[in-house]
């Protein structure tokens, strides 16, 4: 499409609404019950949670307007098909024309008619430029290790498609369309997890390029793999013929960091909501002070994340006999109970900061070299460095570790309470292991082991890089590694939450007469009992914890998909679910 003018970038992004309000639960309240107005206001302003059910949108149109992080979620998780506006198609074609003009003029341009990295000053003859594209993909497909899941691969592919749509990559329209078709037809390349140093996710993106060429393997929803050539044939697609600069336009980006970072951001938001509910159940179990969550205390230092956390805890405790109970024996509880909003709120504030960085990145033209359509030139630069995002996830991981540290301390309090209120002789007489499941007090040790690993994972990885490419790339962000470590830290905290909720429920059982619990805490307690009732007597603890993680914690988390706002302030629309 030579000669098509680039778009002016002023239109708002448009969604094609094929179906509206079709969620069966669209009129139902959130699973964790209605939150008070202050919680809703704080959530909307800072934490970014959705406060009302979203309409289902079945087509996402990439146009000249801003791209939202929720778009990544809807395409990756809900598999919303992607369409492209004529203006964006024109912008992509116009940028590729600049690439072709630069090639015809013989102007040296990195990765177009020169080698890459240490070979950057070696010229590539014109008759080898198309073959050079396949050589780039093959020489950079160095990823190893565990294959990413389908949702992650889709997030990565959409992040790259979104980046290409901004017009700075110079990709050919044929490659742009091929990547879109991979998304819409469900062709998901095998993308290994290891290999990125954070100066563009070269190894991961080259794995996608390999499949686009009809080579390598793809992964199906059940985790099985098969030859990419078979998947393309089944989908009615042909291997793409890479044009000059296409390979670098595809791999020279941080789409793996942006895509998986967005998925991890959403996961951490859900983890945060669950953490408040779990902590509230422990407050009930230990008859701790509820006054520390009062709105007047949050207004004394008006940090929005902290206030939102306290409001969610108050909502979970609403209706509990503990709220109006006489003051407990001690005038103050341990800090793991008293500072939950402060610690959880710090994570909420960091999530908002990180969402802003990722939103800017997915809307940017961060390619090296950058194709400047207006000046009709191709410019080398360093915009592939995403140290800001890397450092944001380092901070997130620290905050997640602190959340886990509080959970481990509350677990220790619950175990100590059990030991102090029920003698060993009484536990033997009860013989609960004979007819049901005996909650092991040694879960305190398990929690201690988990939190020790969590603290180790909190150590910064971004300063551990080493020069590569014969010293040409002598600084790297390690952003992808920082994001992956943050996901592993979230795994540990989810397990700690499952242990805590199990011990808190067991502590409530040990009281004899069941106290009146709050609306949210009571719901969580009953769900724990339901999970245990479905398990056979003597079930292994690892099975119990896994069931609680999947059945309980997923249900009690706020049903939110909106995780960000665009730089222009327009909240994006994501497929609900």
- Summarize pLDDT for 319-369 with one digit per residue, the tens: 999 998 877 777 899 999 999 999 999 999 999 999 999 999 999 999 999
User: Can you name the CATH fold of 261-366+385-425+433-556?
Assistant: Fumarase C; Chain A, domain 2 (1.20.200)
Distances (CA, A) of 395 to 29, 271, 353, 401: 33, 16, 10, 10
**Is pLDDT of 391 > 90?**
yes
Q: What integer pLDDT is reported at residue 554 of this predicted model? A: 65
**Is pLDDT of 317 > 70?**
yes
Task: Give percent above pLDDT 70 in the chain.
Answer: 84
Q: At what angle do helices 255-285 and 340-362 cross, to 10 degrees?
A: 160
Question: 409: which 2 tokens?
Answer: 């301390």
Q: Taking the CB of residue 230, how many other CB atoms lie within 10 A of it? A: 12
Distance of CA 277 to the CA centre of its chain: 21
Q: What integer pLDDT is reported at residue 500 of this predicted model? A: 97
**What number is the average pLDDT over the span 281-292?**
95
Q: What integer pLDDT is reported at residue 326 of this predicted model? A: 79
Confidence of residue 25 (pLDDT cuts 50, 70, 90): very low
Q: What integer pLDDT is reported at residue 553 of this predicted model? A: 64
**What number is the average pLDDT over the span 467-490?**
93
Sign (positive or negative) of CA dihedral 517, 521, 527, 533: negative
Coil, strand or helix: which one is 493?
Answer: helix
What is residue 292's DSSP assignment?
A: G
Of 516 and 538, the structure prediction assigns the larger pLDDT to: 516
What end-to-end distance do the CA atoms of the chain give, in Å?
A: 38
Its pTM stands at: 0.86
* Residue given tokens 């430029």 in the structure block: 129
Of 544 and 31, the structure prediction assigns the larger pLDDT to: 544
**Alpha-carbon torsion angle 475, 477, 478, 484, nearest 10:** 180
The ranges assigned to domains in the chain are 50-257, 261-366+385-425+433-556
Q: Are 251 and 152 within 8 A, CB to CB?
A: no
Q: At what angle do helices 202-212 and 129-140 cross, to 10 degrees?
A: 120
What are the b/e assignments for 289-318, b being 16+ CB within 10 Å? bbebbeeeebeeeebbbbbbbbbbbbbbbb
3-state helix, strand and coil shares in percent for the chain, rounded to the nearest 5: 55, 5, 40
Q: Please provide the CATH number assigned to the domain covering 50-257.
A: 1.10.275.10
Q: What integer pLDDT is reported at residue 433 of this predicted model? A: 56
What are the b/e assignments for 328-338, b being 16+ CB within 10 Å? eeeeebeebbb
Confidence of residue 516 (pLDDT cuts 50, 70, 90): very high
Backbone phi, then psi, for 16, in 5-degree steps? -90, 115
What is residue 214's DSSP assignment?
A: T
Q: What integer pLDDT is reported at residue 449 of this predicted model? A: 97
Q: Are 111 and 245 within 8 A, CB to CB?
A: yes
Give the Cα separation of 241 and 388 in Å (integer). Answer: 35
Q: Are 95 and 169 within 8 A, CB to CB?
A: yes
Confidence of residue 473 (pLDDT cuts 50, 70, 90): confident
| Alpha-helical regions (H) of 286-386 | 295-300, 304-317, 335-338, 340-362
**What number is the average pLDDT over the span 380-399?**
96
Q: What integer pLDDT is reported at residue 381 of this predicted model? A: 94
Mean model confidence pLDDT for the chain: 85
Over residues 423-464, the pLDDT tens digits come to 777 767 666 655 567 788 899 999 999 999 999 999 999 999
Contacts of 472 (CB under 8 A, 6+ apart): 117, 118, 120
**Is pLDDT of 510 > 80?**
yes
**Is pLDDT of 43 > 50?**
no
- Concatenated DSSP letters of 62-112: E-SS---HHHHHHHHTS---EEE-HHHHHHHHHHHHHHHHHHHHT---TTT
H or E stretch covering 519: helix 519-533
Give the Cα separation of 66 and 571 in Å (integer). Answer: 10
Q: What integer pLDDT is reported at residue 570 of this predicted model? A: 32
Give the Cα separation of 538 and 437 in Å (integer). Answer: 5
Q: What integer pLDDT is reported at residue 469 of this predicted model? A: 87
**Is pLDDT of 32 > 90?**
no
Partners of 473 in beta bridges:
468
Over residues 223-234, the pLDDT tens digits come to 999 999 999 999
Give the Cα separation of 115 and 359 in Å (integer). Answer: 32
Contacts of 165 (CB under 8 A, 6+ apart): 62, 67, 84, 88, 91, 92, 176
* Residue given tokens 């302030």 in the structure block: 569
Distances (CA, A) of 295 to 88, 269, 341: 48, 22, 11
Q: What integer pLDDT is reported at residue 41 of this predicted model? A: 33
């Amino acid at each position: 499409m030579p000669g098509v003018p680039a778009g002016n970038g002023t239109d708002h992004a448009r969604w094609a609404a094929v179906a509206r309000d079709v969620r069966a639960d669209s009129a139902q309240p959130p699973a964790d019950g209605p939150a008070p107005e202050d919680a809703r206001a704080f959530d909307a302003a800072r934490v970014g949670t959705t406060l009302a059910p979203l309409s289902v949108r079945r087509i996402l149109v990439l146009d000249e307007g801003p791209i939202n992080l929720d778009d990544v979620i809807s395409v990756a998780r809900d598999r919303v098909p992607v369409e492209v506006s004529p203006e964006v198609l024109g912008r992509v074609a116009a940028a590729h024309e600049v690439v072709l003009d630069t090639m015809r003029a013989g102007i040296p341009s990195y990765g177009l008619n020169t080698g890459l990295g240490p070979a950057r000053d070696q010229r590539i003859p014109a008759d080898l430029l198309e073959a050079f594209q396949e050589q780039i993909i093959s020489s950079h497909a160095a990823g190893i290790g565990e294959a990413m899941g389908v949702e992650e691969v889709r997030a990565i592919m959409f992040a790259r498609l979104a980046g290409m749509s901004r017009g700075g990559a110079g990709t050919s329209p044929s490659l742009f369309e091929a990547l879109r078709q991979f998304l819409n037809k469900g062709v998901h390349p095998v993308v290994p997890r290891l290999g990125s140093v954070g100066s563009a996710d070269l190894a991961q993106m080259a794995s996608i390029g390999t499949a686009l060429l009809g080579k390598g393997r793809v992964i199906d929803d059940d985790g099985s793999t098969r030859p990419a050539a078979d998947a393309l044939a089944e989908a009615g697609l042909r291997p793409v013929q890479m044009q000059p600069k296409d390979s670098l336009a595809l791999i020279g980006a941080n789409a793996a960091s942006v895509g998986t970072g967005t998925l991890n951001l959403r996961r951490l938001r859900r983890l945060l909501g669950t953490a408040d509910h779990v902590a509230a159940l422990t407050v009930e179990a230990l008859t701790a002070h509820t006054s520390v969550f009062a709105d007047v205390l949050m207004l004394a230092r008006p940090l929005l994340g902290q206030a939102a956390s306290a409001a969610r805890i108050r909502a979970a405790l609403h209706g509990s006999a503990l709220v109006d109970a006489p003051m407990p024996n001690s005038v103050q509880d341990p800090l793991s109970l008293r500072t939950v909003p402060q610690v959880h709120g710090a994570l909420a504030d960091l999530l908002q900061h990180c969402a802003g960085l990722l939103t800017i990145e997915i809307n940017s033209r961060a390619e090296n070299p950058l194709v400047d359509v207006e000046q009709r030139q191709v410019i080398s630069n360093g915009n592939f460095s995403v140290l800001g995002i890397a450092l944001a996830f380092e901070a997130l991981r620290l905050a997640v570790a602190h959340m886990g540290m509080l959970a481990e301390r509350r677990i220790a309090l619950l175990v100590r309470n059990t030991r102090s209120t029920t003698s060993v002789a009484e536990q033997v007489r009860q013989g609960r292991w004979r007819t049901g499941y005996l909650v092991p007090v040694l879960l305190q040790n398990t929690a201690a082991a988990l939190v020790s690993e969590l603290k180790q994972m909190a150590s910064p990885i971004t300063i551990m890089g080493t020069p590569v490419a014969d010293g040409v790339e002598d600084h790297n962000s390690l952003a992808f590694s920082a994001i992956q470590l943050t996901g592993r830290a979230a795994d540990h905290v989810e397990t700690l939450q499952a242990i805590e909720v199990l011990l808190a429920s067991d502590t409530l059982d040990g009281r004899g007469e069941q106290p009146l619990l709050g609306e949210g805490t009571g719901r969580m307690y009953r769900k724990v009992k339901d999970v245990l009732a479905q398990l056979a007597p003597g079930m292994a603890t690892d099975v119990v914890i896994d069931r609680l993680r999947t059945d309980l914690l997923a249900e009690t988390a706020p049903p939110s998909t909106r995780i960000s706002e665009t730089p222009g302030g327009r909240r994006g629309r994501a497929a609900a679910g």
